[in-house]
Amino acid sequence: MDDVFIERFLGNLSPVQENALVQLRRRLRETHKEKIPKDAHILRFLKARDYSVEKAREMLLHSLAWRKLHNIDRLSETYKPSEIVEQYYCGGWHYSDRDGRPLYILKLGQMDVKGLMKSVGEEALLRHVIAVNEDGLKRAEEATKSKGFPVSACTCIVDLEGLSMRHLWRPGIRALLRLIELVEANYPETMGQLLIVRAPRVFPVLWTLVSPFIDENTRQKFMIYGGNDYQGPGGLVDFIEKRYIPDFLGGDCYCDVPEGNMVPKSLYKEEFSDKSPDGPPLSTDSLYNTAHVVKDFPHEVLIQVPQRGSVLTWDFDILKGDVTFTVLKCKGSISADPHHQHHVSGATGGIGSVQYIDKSMQVGVDLSIVEPPCICRDGDSVQGSHVTSQAGSYLLQWKYFDSAKASFDFTLATHKSKVMYHTELLKSDAFRLRR
């Protein structure tokens, strides 16, 4: 390959990287004739697979098949967002960053995800985001031509001002995970930098749900700012010229990204269903555990917190019956070995629930309640977080609740509850999430 062409359109490639590109392009021509992507597109898949020709080829072949199946190459010519998406989807392009990469603004905190999905459907939203990604590829290509140096990715500002628990609506999270899966598989190495600003307290819960699905190389490009930390040195100005920082983030540049707001219920489709839609599997099962909870045998998850300021997060669904959920702090150390395991016929692995607290331990003496008991009913989907004030042993506890009783003093019951849950500890130094 011509050295001038490589430096001008692809960047500085080592001999090994250049050879991998030549090999992969040659192998693609054997199967796809002249209908192969441009070198910059092929190079993204090689980067995503550490320049392994075989792994990149497998990934790219799957992506090419996906593009053909869904006619993605014609999407930019045929796609036009609906009036609802144009008005209530809070995203749009806005100049470029300091490295010449196209800049996309997403006001996620102001977006009514539930309203959008109920009014236009999940597939329409996914198609819109795919169209945005296709537009980003074109803009990067145009920037390469105009800037005089290779521009292979885009930068995105995600404004979380207004983010709340309503954004953690289960079908919306499912759609987000499906979207992440599609983008990771078909648009690798297209994220130059992702700048998350005005991250609220609920953000760690959302991060816990989606971060396992994000490629590690992509996660390294995330910068997360809480409060006003995005302003001043070390903030947005490090990535974007001051004259291009949007007005709603304290800059002087007018930004016409839609404000969003709530979608009127009169626009909802009657046929909308909260059930998981037909489509590619989301592969979320591996994140979750299941426990059966009966009288006298609560289910407890022990989390050792190494430093104060760490965040405990939880996401669980009540699949059967009612429970109370409590978070407790052990005043002393507690063994990592369960005090008791209760076996329930039919439970996964034969384990119904696990207990670390024995009956001699008392609240106020051995334990303190850091998140008071809340009643969770059959079918509830619950997400939450707790910022720890101390290091030590914490317990997340699900306890059977007899709905016929008004108190938390349970009587003997033969019925059992079933919980599907995922928990995670975010250490205090894991993010630039400052207050």
3-state SS string over 263-296? CCHHHCCCCCCCCCCCCCCCCCHHHCEEEEEECC
Cβ-proximal residues to 293 (8 Å cutoff; 6+ apart), any chain? 299, 321, 323, 352, 353, 398, 399, 400, 416, 417, 418, 419
Q: In what order do the strands lie in the sheet with 416-426?
A: 289-294, 416-426, 311-320, 381-387
Residue 116 and residue 219 share a domain: yes
| pLDDT at 277 > cutoff 80 | no
pLDDT at residue 275, rounded to an integer: 47
Residue 237 and residue 101 share a domain: yes
* pLDDT tens-digit series, residues 395-411: 999 999 876 654 333 33
231 in Cβ contact with 246 (< 8 Å): no
> What total number of domains does the chain contain?
3
Residue 296 and residue 163 share a domain: no
**Which residue shows structure tokens 């140096």?**
149
**Which residue shows structure tokens 């390959």?**
1
When mean pLDDT is compared across 60-69, 259-268, 271-280, 400-409, the lowest value belongs to 271-280
Whether residue 278 is contained in a domain is answered as no
* pLDDT tens-digit series, residues 178-190: 899 999 999 999 9
Average pLDDT of the chain is 85
Q: How large a percentage of the chain has pLDDT more than 90?
A: 52
* pLDDT tens-digit series, residues 164-180: 888 888 888 888 988 99
Q: How confident is the model at residue 343 (pLDDT cuts 50, 70, 90)?
A: low
Residue 304 and residue 208 share a domain: no
Give the 3-state secondary structure of residue 353. Answer: strand
Whether residue 20 is contained in a domain is answered as yes
pLDDT at residue 165, rounded to an integer: 82
pTM: 0.72
Average pLDDT over residues 83-100: 96
Given 210, 233, 267, the domain boundary residue is 267
At residue 186, what is the residue type?
N
Whether residue 40 is contained in a domain is answered as yes
Residue 385 and residue 334 share a domain: yes
| pLDDT at 86 > cutoff 80 | yes
Residue 168 and residue 90 share a domain: yes
Give the 3-state secondary structure of residue 204. Answer: helix
Cβ-proximal residues to 420 (8 Å cutoff; 6+ apart), any chain? 288, 289, 290, 316, 317, 319
Where in the sequence is the domain holding 347, given as residue range(s)?
Answer: 288-403+411-426
CATH number of the domain bearing residue 125 = 3.40.525.10
Give the 3-state secondary structure of residue 433. Answer: coil
